[in-house]
Structure 1
Amino acid sequence: MYNDNELRIFKNVAAAAQKLGVESYVIGGFVRDKIIGRSTKDIDIVCVGDGIALAEQTALLFGNEATHVNIYKTYGTAQIKIGETELEFVGARKESYQQNSRNPIVQTGTLEDDQLRRDFTINAMGISLNENNFGELIDPFNGLKDIEDKIIRTPLKAVETFSDDPLRMMRAIRFAAQLHYNIAPQTYEAIVHNAKRINIITKERIAEELNKILLSSKPSIGFDLLYKTGLLQIIFPQMVALAGAEFVDGYGHKDNFYHTLQVVDNIAQTTDDLWLRWAAVLHDIAKPATKKFEEGHGWTFHGHEAVGGKMVPKIFTQLKLPQNEKMKFVRKMVEMHLRPISLTKENITDSAIRRLLFDAGEDIDSLMKLCEADITSKNKQKVKRYLDNFELVRKRCAEVEATDQLRNWQPPISGELIMQTFQLAPSKPVGLIKDAIRNAILDGEIPNDYDAAFAFMMQKAKEILPNV
């Protein structure tokens, strides 16, 4: 079950604990992941005594192989790294909570106290590192059976567990999504009952759990549970606004919430890129704001891609997601997600392909993945037709790219050269000339080279500048 390196680590920790005269145990996620066959490089060690002292003694046994001991006195924890494996040490403790904080009041405790404070039964199992029962599984809450039954439940009463630390509600849902487990009925009801308690959790911690749900193999499991328990309504109401279908005069539209979940699941099959997955979450986010019923035609969502793009920075700010190139990438994907689709509905001109390549730049492959994921029809012939059309767009992009090399392309004539040639200050005419050159190249009127662009600039300047 354990590899040679893990056994070597366990024996050194055991030797250090024996030298200090304390009991030591591996506990939590490492034990769970080993049982279910999930790879992990993090090991949590609990000792009935001083966890920091045990970390320091263990590091001495490993010598130069161990990294410097990182000590966190506030939490009574310490951390060292042995190669790729990270060990965290803590003394066994019991916890109590105040109503408006998830930060516990900590007291020294027994192993039983420490296991009781764990969030779920599957995370409360321990492995003894003590001489009298080395390697024995200590499982007071039948976590092993819950792994067999694929159940998430709490060691204590779930209402108390979630009231004490409301982030555990999101962790329950995250584990359900990651492991494809079911949440036990009483545990599920406790999440519903305590949903509003999530307000005491920082946005950063909530974002961390959202990202882990989004990176699971089937994110829809987690988002659907967040929605049904009422958590999503509190932490991400814009996504909840997508839910439901409306019918007027026999015309209806699809439920855009569950369409979005299908798109996210689709893209999860083709990429591990967290930010492309966020683009899938947000691609239709403005549909509620742009929804309109047109007599005799049905429901429309005109401009939802542009409005959605403007919503991205605000949503990232609200969720405490980064306001950097990652956000700009998501916004770009949301704003452009209909562009390749429109090219499948017409004869694809070189000009249209050039503009797509120019605007998408290095992100063209990500954009195409998003568009393909956006096909959620249950009609197999329809899906095949869409995919064939997208394959045609990909082929045409490759052909034009090979000829024109337009990814991250900059026109051969810069604004500085225009100003220098005509002795202009930064002004509207400079922008008009520069845009005209770019459009002429993208439309195929002139080749993509300096001489042709310079000649075109001189000609265009005569039209725009009065004294040329």
Structure 2
Amino acid sequence: MEIKCNDKELFVFKKIAHAAAELGVPAYVIGGFVRDKLLGRATKDADIVCVGDGIQLAHKVAERFQPKPSVSFFKNFGTAQIKLKHFYEANFGEVHLIAENNGQEAVENLAEPAAEENGDVPHEKSALEIEFVGARKESYRYHSRNPEVLPGTLKDDQDRRDFTINAMAISLNEADYGTLIDPFNGLQDLERKIIQTPLDPDTTFSDDPLRMMRAVRFAAQLNFTIAPATFQSIKDHAERIRIISQERITEELNKILLSAKPSVGFDLLYQSGLLHIIFPQLVDLVGAEYIDGLGHKDNFYHTLQVVDNISRNTSDLWLRWAALLHDIGKPPTKKFEKGHGWTFHGHEVVGGRMVPRLFAKLKLPQNEKLRFVKKLVELHLRPISLTKENITDSAIRRLLFDAGDDIDSLMLLCEADITSKNKQKVIRFLENFELVRHRLREVEEKDRIRNWQPPITGEIIMDIFGLSPCKIVGDLKSSIREAILDGEIDNTYDAAYDFMMKKAAELGLNVVNKNATGN
């Protein structure tokens, strides 16, 4: 393996090296940047450790750019960060070099401005974020993951790293510039695709239990194997995860879900015992029960396959969450019916009700992301049911109305839900789904029902009949909507008005403003 940095990265590291030399502090690139460069993976952040004051080094480096980037620093932790904007989106030839008064070169228009008028610095997807910290050694109290931090050597800093593949460093010092410093054979573990701790795993995981989640996440992201002794230690210390904040745990869950094959991570979470603590509702899906020779599939591993299926077609985190939770309502609805077998009637409704509680517990967003996942869980059986009957325009209209702009995401989820090992069965299901897609396009082009609202609003109804908000208004509006969705009347104002007047007469309502239009 060799480290392949582009010209811009090398240019920036030279500037860091010069700044460190000026301060007289040894400096090194360490951790994830080194690992990912050796693996040929894209990276947009770099950690710099120096044997000295990391915040002072960050300020010294910032001075070598024009315009000077802001330095975000946390004095209590001894860390600092600068961000170089538009770093990866332009060719190096487009970067202009100018001379500063001290004769050093700087990268023009590559540094992040100090702040915008609103006080926020915009996030740049193509930015390079550089974090600086002084080398340190740490000691932990048993009931806290907040360490007591003391200044240390490079060796001390590498000793405290989570895994051997993250403990490698590259020197930025004149005497051995570019040398790989690898005291725990991390390079060998990269080649063997092994994740293990530099020191005793019991100490590593007891000190900082979040590292157990990180081990699983790296295994999922890199398609690596966790070393047996390291994995046994995770199993032994799984209960320690309880001292970690929910936000940190959920951050790791999201990263596992965004990996190329999330099932790797979730299976490891289950096998290690971590999932039983952080997400017991998923564990409830595990296993297949048999009565009178009749069983059901293991809904946990079915779910993992659905997540993998959908991950091949989308990088959308929330669609992946919908896949993970689509059958979450099966355990509480599971019943055995004599002579028929196992049923999960209404599991999509129950699952939809569980989503807000799970999102709240996991500290996931309480906004449109939650509503999106809840909707897909509730609707995930609807397209499947349309493959088992003659597809009427009414059924298609209702699906378009209920799914709205999320219909394409819903169809992706339903196709991912096909996990049969019978290839002919899979082909048949996919052909049926293609028929549903064709009918969806056909009805949408004709009726424009997606995100549609009935032409008669509640305001119009109240105005015409002199009503205040009440159940009758809602009932009339629902009757109009259902009549249009069922194809009983046309999707026009006149047709809806005539239908409303007929229903109003049945209810004994009198018109008080026949000219009302709701405008």
On whether the aligned pair clears a TM of 0.5, the verdict is yes
**Residues 203-226 of structure 1, C-alpha deviations (whole Å, 9 max, x = no match):** 000000000000000000000000
Matches within 5 A, 1:119-158: 119-158=162-201
Is structure 2 residue 70 aligned with structure 1 residue 75?
no
Larger CA deviation: 407-416 vs 449-458: 449-458
Q: 2:306 aligns with which of 246, 257, 263?
A: 263
Q: 2:340 aligns with which of 297, 309, 329?
A: 297
Contact kept in structure 2, 1:267 and 1:369, CA below 8 Å: yes
Q: 2:491 aligns with which of 436, 448, 463?
A: 448
Matches within 5 A, 1:404-415: 404-415=447-458
3-state SS in 2 of match to 1:61? coil
Contact kept in structure 1, 2:380 and 2:414, CA below 8 Å: yes
Is structure 2 residue 277 aligned with structure 1 residue 234?
yes
Matches within 5 A, 1:346-361: 346-361=389-404
Q: Structure 2: which 5+ residue stretches go unaligned?
A: 86-126, 512-519
**1:182 corresponds to which residue?**
225
- How many Å separate the matches in 1 of 2:19 and 2:49? 13
Contact kept in structure 2, 1:286 and 1:311, CA below 8 Å: yes
- How many Å separate the matches in 2 of 1:231 and 1:264? 19
**1:41 corresponds to which residue?**
44
Contact kept in structure 1, 2:34 and 2:170, CA below 8 Å: yes
- How many Å separate the matches in 2 of 1:211 and 1:407? 31
What one-letter code is carried by the residue in structure 2 that aligns with 1:357? L
Contact kept in structure 1, 2:195 and 2:224, CA below 8 Å: yes
Is structure 2 residue 427 aligned with structure 1 residue 384?
yes
- How many Å separate the matches in 2 of 1:401 and 1:465? 36
Q: 1:26 aligns with which of 26, 29, 37?
A: 29
Is structure 2 residue 370 aligned with structure 1 residue 367?
no
What one-letter code is carried by the residue in structure 2 that aligns with 1:281? L
Is structure 2 residue 16 aligned with structure 1 residue 13?
yes
- How many Å separate the matches in 2 of 1:465 and 1:264? 54
- How many Å separate the matches in 1 of 2:44 and 2:361? 32
1:63 positional shift = 2.8
3-state SS in 1 of match to 2:65? helix
- How many Å separate the matches in 1 of 2:295 and 2:508? 54
3-state SS in 1 of match to 2:83? strand
- How many Å separate the matches in 2 of 1:160 and 1:317? 32
- How many Å separate the matches in 1 of 2:298 and 2:69? 52
1:432 positional shift = 1.1
Give the CA RMSD over aligned residues.
0.8
**2:240 corresponds to which residue?**
197
- How many Å separate the matches in 2 of 1:464 and 1:385? 49
Q: 2:480 aligns with which of 404, 422, 437?
A: 437
**Residues 83-125 of structure 1, C-alpha deviations (whole Å, 9 max, x = no match):** 2111100000000000011111000000000011100000000
1:455 positional shift = 1.6
Contact kept in structure 2, 1:102 and 1:166, CA below 8 Å: yes
- How many Å separate the matches in 2 of 1:158 and 1:62? 42
Is structure 2 residue 101 aligned with structure 1 residue 101?
no
Contact kept in structure 2, 1:41 and 1:85, CA below 8 Å: yes
- How many Å separate the matches in 1 of 2:315 and 2:505? 52
1:466 positional shift = 4.5
**2:104 corresponds to which residue?**
none
- How many Å separate the matches in 2 of 1:438 and 1:286? 29
**1:426 corresponds to which residue?**
469
Larger CA deviation: 439-448 vs 173-182: 439-448
Contact kept in structure 1, 2:261 and 2:311, CA below 8 Å: yes
Hey, which of these two has a bigger chunk of helix by percent? 1
What one-letter code is carried by the residue in structure 2 that aligns with 1:273? D
3-state SS in 1 of match to 2:499? helix
1:67 positional shift = 2.0
**1:168 corresponds to which residue?**
211
What one-letter code is carried by the residue in structure 1 that aligns with 2:328? I
- How many Å separate the matches in 2 of 1:249 and 1:307? 27
**1:457 corresponds to which residue?**
500
Contact kept in structure 2, 1:207 and 1:320, CA below 8 Å: yes
**Residues 159-193 of structure 1, C-alpha deviations (whole Å, 9 max, x = no match):** 10000000000000000000000000110000000
**1:212 corresponds to which residue?**
255
3-state SS in 2 of match to 1:62? coil
**2:113 corresponds to which residue?**
none
Aligned length: 467
Contact kept in structure 2, 1:429 and 1:465, CA below 8 Å: no
Contact kept in structure 2, 1:118 and 1:124, CA below 8 Å: yes
**1:288 corresponds to which residue?**
331
- How many Å separate the matches in 2 of 1:73 and 1:154? 29
Q: Structure 1: which 5+ residue stretches go unaligned?
A: none
**2:160 corresponds to which residue?**
117
What one-letter code is carried by the residue in structure 1 that aligns with 2:379? M
- How many Å separate the matches in 2 of 1:179 and 1:51? 30
Contact kept in structure 2, 1:177 and 1:218, CA below 8 Å: yes
- How many Å separate the matches in 1 of 2:69 and 2:444? 49
What one-letter code is carried by the residue in structure 2 that aligns with 1:196? E
What one-letter code is carried by the residue in structure 2 that aligns with 1:300? T
- How many Å separate the matches in 2 of 1:398 and 1:408? 14
Relative to the length of structure 2, the TM-score reads: 0.89
**2:441 corresponds to which residue?**
398
Contact kept in structure 1, 2:465 and 2:509, CA below 8 Å: no
- How many Å separate the matches in 2 of 1:466 and 1:200? 63
Matches within 5 A, 1:305-316: 305-316=348-359
**Residues 263-290 of structure 1, C-alpha deviations (whole Å, 9 max, x = no match):** 0100101111111111111111111100
**Residues 33-82 of structure 1, C-alpha deviations (whole Å, 9 max, x = no match):** 00000000101000000000000000001131x42011111110000012
**Residues 310-333 of structure 1, C-alpha deviations (whole Å, 9 max, x = no match):** 000111111111111111111110
What one-letter code is carried by the residue in structure 2 that aligns with 1:411? P
Larger CA deviation: 444-453 vs 300-309: 444-453
Percent of pairs identical after alignment? 70
1:407 positional shift = 1.3
- How many Å separate the matches in 2 of 1:453 and 1:18? 79
Larger CA deviation: 201-210 vs 400-409: 400-409
3-state SS in 1 of match to 2:82? strand
Contact kept in structure 2, 1:24 and 1:46, CA below 8 Å: yes
What one-letter code is carried by the residue in structure 2 that aligns with 1:44? D
